[in-house]
Amino acid sequence: MILITGGRGAVATRLTTLLHRDGLPVRVGSARPDGLTPPDGVETVRLDLTDPATFHAALSGVTTVFLYASAERITDFIDHAHRAAVTHIVLLSSSSVLGDDPGNDPLAAAHHDVERALLASPITTTILRPGSFASNVAGWAWAIKAGRSICLPFPEAHDAPLHEADLAEAAHAALTDSRHRGGRFTLTGPESLTFAQQAGLLAAAIGRPVPVDRVTPQAWKQQMADHLPAAYADALLNYWESNDKKPFTPTGTVEDLTGHPARTFSTWAADHARQFTAP
């Protein structure tokens, strides 16, 4: 039995479908399982990764876990998983842990703590470290639908945005192909793009302009104050500044794991155009 955590997420939803199509036994965990709509025959279970009282039932009969963990109770989760005879965990982590000092970066610290706990455990752990998600630009949707400009402090900052479908397929490979067991994989999209270039590709997908306004880092931080803690805003600003006008080097890991090249940002934009146009 394979347990999928974070069952409401786009990656978990796609991964569940892929595993179910393979005829593999799958259980989907979520803190709010009533709203899940998995394929017919897929079991759902309440699993709150901050509440060890939910761990035993979720892990009963499970041998493999796809884990998007909370660092808060990771040791408890590992203990329950080991007692339940789980032999393999595929962890959805983040490439932010590869920075110079992830323990002092609030965006990386939780992922780093989870990785350390799992690697110190007796359970074989495969780690997926995605970089920036293409879906991060979904935060622009409200402005675009309102006909407003996107306000960016570093519009020329580069990254290599990753389509969630590629991450799901990479996770599928990590769970089902023994050649990848115990590996460490850094995943990116196939091309280095600035935020301004992403806005242009999104404009092409929706058929209307997506104007970009440059704002100061402090102005952006103030705009985000109601939605993003200051420490996280500062970490993002530091990351973007470090990549300003500096092309990003994509990895070929998606193709290594899945057998096909990573999907482009243009593909993601076409797949999600309704998010930026529907009322």
At 61-80, the pLDDT tens digits run 999 999 997 788 999 999 99
Alpha-carbon distance 45 to 47, whole Å? 6
Residues 31-53 have a mean pLDDT of: 92
Total Cβ atoms within 10 A of residue 122: 8
- Dihedral, CA of residue 71, residue 76, residue 82 and residue 84, to nearest 10: -120
CA-based radius of gyration for the chain: 19
Q: Determine the pLDDT at residue 103.
A: 66
Q: Which residues pair with 128 in a beta bridge?
A: 92, 185
- What are the chain's domains? 2-130 (3.40.50.720)
pLDDT score of 70: 79
- Burial (CB < 10 A; 0-12, 13-18, 19+), residue 271, is middle
105 residue type, one letter: D
DSSP 131: -
> 125 and 64 in contact (C-beta within 8 Å)?
no
